[in-house]
Amino acid sequence: MTTTKKVPAYAAQSATSGLAPLSIMRREPSPEDVEIEILFCGICHSDLHSVRNEWSEFMATNYPIVPGHEIVGRVTRVGSAVTKFKAGDVAAVGCMVDSDGTCPQCKAGLEQFCPNMILTFNSPDKHLGGFTYGGYSGGIVVDEHFVLRVPFNLNLAGAAPLLCAGITTYSPMHHWGVTKGKKVGVVGLGGLGHMAVKFAHALGAHVVVFTTSPNKKEDALRLGADEVVVSRNADEMKKHAGSFDFILDAVSADHDINAYINLLGIDGNLTLVGAPAKPLSVPAFGLIARRRSFSGSMIGGIPETQEMLDFCGKHNITADVEVIPIQKVNEAYERLLKSDVKYRFSIDMASLKSE
């Protein structure tokens, strides 16, 4: 029988309840496990979608739900077979906590595409039954393979969002060969977009940010953009026609994707990391005429997530965060809906102790 330990958390009991304190159980570390005291957890838009059961058609929420998959903390205990971590280390956990380890995707380090991948929250928990609980909690116990090392120089509150927003934007840039001399577009300057700008800039690309709000221009330049285009301005858009190597589209609202496909050069690629609810309409000639491609991407595998964190350590990259106590989480969700945050909330988990 698995023994357990009680930890404080914040959970939602229904799609409309909001988040409130709840004690949850974590397993005692098995030989392969790392036990982590959570210091910071970022707030991702998918936390909000899951809490409110907005993705019910393909991933219904099981209540109570403890969201959070941008986790940074300190190792408190390790199992006897753990080799990469010891008590006192700073460690991180992202969107996944397990996979089968045997399928071709796992063998290739692409655990995010494993048919048996277990998400950090709202996935079946094979150890304790019920469903996995995420990072809005005091601690978590995770198989060593899914625990990441955090470079010592990074600010921990700002490092937390790297575990989802960071890898989600780094992985497609890596895959599509963003390097020095490439022209890269970033559509939408939010939690994902602002990370994309930092990565593309650090990789040496010429970075162009597309935004609907002219007042974001200064901030985009500060984050590392070389140019800012107001996407509502047709003349400005036309100037860039057929010139991009790669465009990352981080917009989840309904929008005209073809306006961006037309900006790609020969063999250019546009990758979606946002998830608009309605199907997008793409005319074939937009792709055929210049051998353009249109693709999607979802987080990244464990080896690539570690590579991304190491890259962030080398270039001193973290997310721009507003640190909040857990007691402000419901308010933060409302502000997230209005894009009223620059550019990610990071919850200081020390605040859980005052519950």
CB of 124 to Zn ion, least distance (A): 15
Q: Which residues of 318-355 are buried (b: 16+ CB within 10 A; e: fewer)?
A: bbbbbebebebbeebbeebeeeebbbbbbbbbebbeee
CB of 60 to Zn ion, least distance (A): 18
- Note whether 164 binds Zn ion by CB under 5 A: yes
| Closer CB to Zn ion, 105 or 262, in the complex | 105
CB of 156 to Zn ion, least distance (A): 18
Number of residues that bind Zn ion (CB under 5 A): 8
| Closer CB to Zn ion, 160 or 184, in the complex | 160
Which residue among 10, 11, 19, 46 contacts Zn ion (CB under 5 A)? 46
| Closer CB to Zn ion, 135 or 268, in the complex | 135
| Closer CB to Zn ion, 69 or 183, in the complex | 69
- Residues 116 to 155 in contact with Zn ion, rule: CB under 5 A: none
CB of 301 to Zn ion, least distance (A): 10
Q: What does the DSSP assignment read for 110-129? A: -GGG-TT-EESSSSB-TTTS
The helix/strand/coil state of 74 is strand
Which residue among 100, 218, 267, 340 contacts Zn ion (CB under 5 A)? 100
| 189 closest CA partner among 216, 218, 214, 215 | 216
CB of 171 to Zn ion, least distance (A): 13
| Closer CB to Zn ion, 100 or 267, in the complex | 100
| Closer CB to Zn ion, 114 or 317, in the complex | 114
CB of 32 to Zn ion, least distance (A): 16
Neighbour-count burial of 285, counting CB atoms closer than 10 A to its CB (0-12 exposed, 13-18 middle, 19+ buried): exposed
Per the DSSP assignment, residues forming a β-bridge with 240 are: none
- Note whether 202 binds Zn ion by CB under 5 A: no
Instruction: Answer for the pair 81, 31: CB distance below 8 angstroms, yes or no.
Output: yes
CB of 46 to Zn ion, least distance (A): 4
The span of 156-164, 181-189, 318-326, 329-337 binding Zn ion (CB under 5 A) equals 156-164
The span of 99-107, 133-141, 171-179, 325-333 binding Zn ion (CB under 5 A) equals 99-107
Which residue among 103, 156, 202, 323 contacts Zn ion (CB under 5 A)? 103
Which residue among 99, 122, 297, 305 contacts Zn ion (CB under 5 A)? 99
The span of 94-102, 178-186, 201-209, 227-235 binding Zn ion (CB under 5 A) equals 94-102
- Which residues fall within 8 angstroms of residue 74, CB to CB, at 6 or more apart? 36, 37, 39, 88, 89, 90, 91
| 320 closest CA partner among 304, 339, 342 | 342
CB of 334 to Zn ion, least distance (A): 18
Q: Which residues of 52-86 are buried (b: 16+ CB within 10 A; e: fewer)?
A: bbeeeeeeebeebbbbbbbbbbbbebbbeebeebe
Per the DSSP assignment, residues forming a β-bridge with 19 are: 12
Number of Cβ within a 10 Å radius of residue 125? 17
CB of 136 to Zn ion, least distance (A): 13
Handedness of CA 309, 87, 322, 18 (dihedral sign): positive
- Note whether 114 binds Zn ion by CB under 5 A: yes
- Note whether 106 binds Zn ion by CB under 5 A: yes
CA 76 to chain centre: 25
| 12 closest CA partner among 68, 69, 67, 65 | 65
Q: At 304, which helix (H) or strand (E)?
A: helix 302-315
| 345 closest CA partner among 42, 39, 20 | 42
| Closer CB to Zn ion, 100 or 256, in the complex | 100
Q: Which residues bind Zn ion (CB under 5 A)?
A: 44, 46, 99-100, 103, 106, 114, 164
